Chain A
Amino acid sequence: MSQGITGPINYRCPQCLFRAIDYDLLYDKEQEQYYCRRCNWEGDESEILGYYAVYKSQYKHRLKRWTVEMIEAKDEEA
């Protein structure tokens, strides 16, 4: 097996992401597979994106726009 390389996209390990560690994945071009050198995660791009989607779900308002007025209005909320 030849050395792992940076993949077509430089993904971070989704498993490490969930425990707040940024760790770049390597890509095994022979097996067309990404893998992590820190933990035991390996998988393809669709699995990575699936994990990322779950990760993003912690930010329930990541697409919500909060303006000055809306943030100030929170002061009045019990």
Chain B
Amino acid sequence: MNTLKSFALELGRLLQSRLTWLVLLLTVISPAAGLTLYKPAFAETMLSMYLANPALAGGAVSGILFGLLTIYELDRSSRSRADVLINAIVSPMRSGMVRMLALNAAAIIGLFLTMLIWLPITYAQAGTVLDMTNYCLAYMIFMGLALPCSILAAAACYQFTNRADLSVVLFAAFAGLSLTVWSDNWQLCWLNPCVWALSDDFTNFRIFRSAAYMRLMWLAALSGVWVLSWCCIRRYGKGILGSLLRSTRRIYRPVIALLLIACSGAAYAAQPIIDNSNPDETASAFLELPYLEGVVCTGRTAKVYPDTAKGTVTGTASYRFLNSSGQTQTVSFGINPGYTVSSVQVNGEDMPFSIGDYQEFNEALLEAEIPADENVELIVEYGGFPQESRNMSETQGSAEISDEYICLQNAELAPRIMNVMPDEGMYPAEIEITLPKGMTVIPFCASEASIVSEYENGTVTWRYEDNGAGGILYAGDYICEEIDAGGITIEFYYGRKHRSVMESAGAIDAVRAVVDYCTEHYGPLSFGMGDKLKLIQSRVTGGGYAGDGASLLDEADFTAANLGDPGKGAGSGEVMIHELVHQWWGLANMFDSSNETDPWSAEGLTVYTTYRIVKELYGEEYAKQYYIDQWQQETDDYYLNFYVRNPEYLEKLPEEKRLEVLGSLTHVRRYCEMPLKILKAEQLVGGEEAMDMILHELFNRELDPYYPYLTYQNFLDACELREEDLNLD
């Protein structure tokens, strides 16, 4: 009887078992757990709630079920004491192989049934944002690949131990680790991929790639372990070692096992998704690089070619330097750690270069030497799959590159100059990017991009001018609406799919209200390149940022779910408010950011102002509940934290843990403690009106060109308060 025939018989037998059908039934029901009990994707987009969570829950539950079914099935012949007879007819190794294949076939049937049944349910819940690509990829990667992993793991446990009880314990612990301790480690959580959000409006290929990579890595490892365990299947009355020696006489078996395990190990160590950035978020080794004496940058250009099918980027960046030092110098650039540099040319000649191993804030150090010539042109050819920061590995997806959405930030766009001063305060930059037709390019700065050439292959080259060592670029299927508010024009870019939600949410009115409020209370904004402000909707990122002339709006700010939830309706768009307020508090040189642990930062005044706007828009009770009470709670927790009260124990922790604790504490101090102090100052200076006048004066103060920052002392002086007056009880 050949293996194929045995497989058909085994599958037929398996499908006649009531237990198999019970497992299949539970598998089909299992995504329901993602709507109620188990919701690892915490973003509030429709696809996170109604696609990612059910698929992830389905994967976890059905994975465990199929693992237990595997142990039950493998133990069947031994349990019924038929193993002696069966082994006399069919080789136990062939039985093991056939059972594993049959269980996997049953798992595929379960997955197919689940996808079939949940398609209309998901469509009814998520609405028109659901498309078949996201649906199929989510179920196949988040749920489907969990099943063979579980089957292989459980089968390996059984084949090694030859005991059902021990196999159940081993499998339970393996699954338990993934669901608990390893759940935040994107490479280790084999049963429940680290997925926090799926975008409704744009593509999700980056997070799918990451989850698929992790799953395939585990699949290779578990296949290797399974092959090894397969060789340990007890034969001829021998024990584990005897059977192993007997089975490995066919050398290809251990070779395949070891190759699979080695491949998996290599895939783990050399994963291309996440970089090795220093986990210490207060580190600033790159910021502290000394500027070169006698060298200035007079301009730069970059030609960028994203490959939207592969999610990669290639590009050529050119930098012009004026070297008046009369000697060779080493120029440093920050480059995305996922990129490789194919060549560095200086004045037309190839020059040696190096990329350091140390990484910080999603950048590696590229160093190249420039000659003593006065005018130097340095050209870098680079490319690769951009990696995301290790410190953000739990919230992946920001480096999405597809024909619907692209976000390239700083060193992802082109190598960022780190140790060369600009010429007369300017790094004039000209950026060209070639993208599929239909995508709108939006530089995250005041300038506008325009099409300079079109090609027959359906791509278009956009060009824009910028000023700076880095730069951020968004591109996607956007529509733009112009809003006049506060004496400026706001270009509001949002995804085409989001139009109906934006209209229902009254997003334009919300934007106008925020800008009018800030202009009235603190003064009008002024920009170097016209009175225009861009407000760009990104795909779901879990936050936002602001730059000179542009602010970011998170997709999750306005979702259909928020609109339908009266408890959240008033609060939708608060990240947008926060990021718009950053146009007043936090841009350019307003705050000295050299001390990463200083609680006084742009966030304090921004969060306080956001609270004031929310209070005006949605009422005092809402603002108190979602702002003051939450600041108070977080600040209380901060002061009560064991490691804050006993810093000597913090020093005893391993570095990674210490940095994790320190990072979360700094966040609380900036986003919660400082706004509370400003609120206390407001009460001490005589109320909101008095505070508004103080902030108006601070915003419009005369700047000291040598130290233009707004310091905490400036704030205290303006309030006529001392630092201890603002101590919280």
The answer to whether A and B interact is no
Binding site for B on A (CB under 8 A): none
